[in-house]
Amino acid sequence: MFDTLSDRLTATLQNLRGKGRLSDADIDATAREIRIALLEADVALPVVKEFIAQIKQRAKGAEVHQALNPAQQVIKIVNEELVGILGGETRRLNLAKNPPTVIMLAGLQGAGKTTLAGKLARFLRGQQHTPLLVACDLQRPNAVTQLQVVGERAEVPVFAPHPGVTSDDETVTGDPVAVAKQAIEEANHAQHDIVIVDTAGRLGVDEELMRQAANIRDAVQPDEVLFVVDAMIGQDAVNTAEAFRDGVGFTGVVLTKLDGDARGGAALSVRQVTGQPILFASNGEKLEDFDAFHPDRMASRILGMGDMLSLIEQAEQAFDQEQAEAAAAKIGTGELTLEDFLEQMLAVRKMGPIGNLLGMLPGAGQMKDQLANVDDKHLDRLQAIIRGMTPAERANPKIIDASRRKRIARGSGVQIREINDLVNRFYEARKMMQQMAGQFGFGGGGGKKN
Ligand code: GDP
């Protein structure tokens, strides 16, 4: 989503490299470039103005002149200011002292609320919570069914009036406020510690929509009202956010569709314009395309420094700790086998499509073309080759002679050449990793934890 912005900022900041000292003119020129980059990315004008003023003031101040490397100092300032407009500290969900915590979702139709409800439910379930999803979008046909589908995928129960059934109790089928209230009772009864209320959206902001959302809010007294906004809608994101802030009020923002190729800067302005923090970000249609929003990581990603922290966190979740430590130890001693390699590859792939992961690495922004070649199909082939090997071959690829190669190629449906390639690359990578392990002091005896 922020590729163009990221490219421009990286290029601008790179121009500063190698300069021993920055003149005010250098800083003004850099600030001008940054300003254009932000405006072109659709960041709201007042946000841009404040941002640029801060950068100039700080960069021209004593900070830079005393610095050993002025370019780095400017990058640091830009990064800090960017973190600032994105909200500073990571803001976590406020959980109620007396459960259930009630989270209400509000936003325009199509913003991604229902999808988000499923994502959030899955995310919270992964943190040992016992969420209940509540279908209060009784206007859009299929909204209830859609929530039931995502609930099923997230393995989280859904409280909903039966679709299409005219119940004796009219209030249950037709009135979202009544459904919301009953859901809270149900949550108390069934000991759900979190209730996620999905509400109806409209195509545009209108009073009826706001009134309904406000009524649900009054009925359930939510601990959090999350305003869900599609990052692809451009400048409208800011106007819509203001309308919801005034009409319903919200305590946090969720950005969706960050995987899109729109410019997205407006979404980055929402925090600054409304004063409310961004809590989560969605970047795809699948339930796992979702994460807590960390302003610092997003800033470093936009600045093209990669998002190592996100990657590490995802890796921690996906990796089997013992297995990873065992592999690290083997890397240090050069004992890594293709079996380990396969296990690691499977663990990494649990984290999501490989292109997404690689995109988070530092400098990835400038390696887009190469990254485009690293696809999941290629990994599928590598996996097939290793699976086609016997345990002895995986442990010691040196024994793979011509006839074994032929057998593996036949079994895994690849060319013999690909097997040679894999084995050669494996040895090279193993050597390189061993050297790196020595350099960074992990692996071998030093990497082992008891
Ligand atoms: P609602 O009307 O606010 O409940 O929105 P939905 O949850 O029905 O989402 C509208 C459309 O956006 C659906 O087609 C979703 O699959 C899609 N969608 C939701 N979140 C994302 C996202 O993060 N990325 C992408 N690409 N699509 C999304």
Q: What is the ipTM of this complex?
A: 0.98
User: In this predicted structure, what is the pLDDT of residue 439?
Assistant: 56
Could you give the CA distance from residue 180 to residue 175 in angstroms, rounded to a whole number? 9
pLDDT for position 139? 78
Per-residue pLDDT tens for 216-241? 999 999 999 999 999 888 788 888 99
* List of residues 6+ apart from 352 with CB closer than 8 A: 288, 289, 314
Q: What is the pLDDT of residue 65?
A: 46
Torsion from C-alpha of 35, 38, 41, 46, nearest 10 degrees? -100
pLDDT of residue 94: 93
**CB of 6 sitting under 6 A from ligand 1:** no
Q: How far does the centroid of ligand 1 lie from the alpha carbon of residue 285, in Å?
A: 6
Q: How far apart are CA 258 and CA 272, in angstroms?
A: 18
Binding-site residues for GTP, in ranges, read 107-114, 198-202, 256-259
112 touches ligand 1 (CB under 6 Å): yes
Residues of the chain under the 70 pLDDT cut: 17-18, 20, 62-72, 162-173, 205, 304-328, 331-332, 347-375, 436-450
CB 85 within 8 A of CB 268: yes
For residue 258, give the ligand 1 atom closest to its CA: 23
Q: 355 C-alpha to center of ligand 1: Å?
A: 21
The rounded distance, in Å, linking the Cα atoms of 10 and 444 is 37
pLDDT reported for residue 370: 53
* Range list of H helices, 352-399: 354-359, 368-373, 376-387, 391-395
Q: Which atom of ligand 1 is nearest to the CA of 140?
A: 2
Instruction: List domains and CATH numbers for the chain.
Output: 3-85 (1.20.120.140), 101-305 (3.40.50.300), 320-447 (1.10.260.30)
pLDDT attached to residue 254: 96
- CA dihedral sign of residues 408, 411, 414, 416: positive
Which residue's alpha carbon is at the smallest distance from atom 16 of ligand 1? 285
Q: Given ligand 1 and candidates 285, 289, 291, 356, which is best to mutate, with the most ligand atoms within 8 Å of its CB?
A: 285
Tokens 């869900």 belong to residue: 228
The predicted structure's pLDDT at residue 339: 83
What is the CA(122)–ligand 1 centre distance, in A? 16
Given this model, what pLDDT does residue 318 score? Answer: 58
Q: What is the pLDDT of residue 371?
A: 52
Alpha-carbon distance 53 to 374, whole Å? 41
- Whether the pTM exceeds 0.80: the reply is no
Q: Residue 243 is which amino acid?
A: A
Q: What is the pLDDT of residue 252?
A: 96
Of 115, 149, 196, the residue with max ligand 1 atoms within 8 A of its CB, to mutate for a pocket test, comes to 115
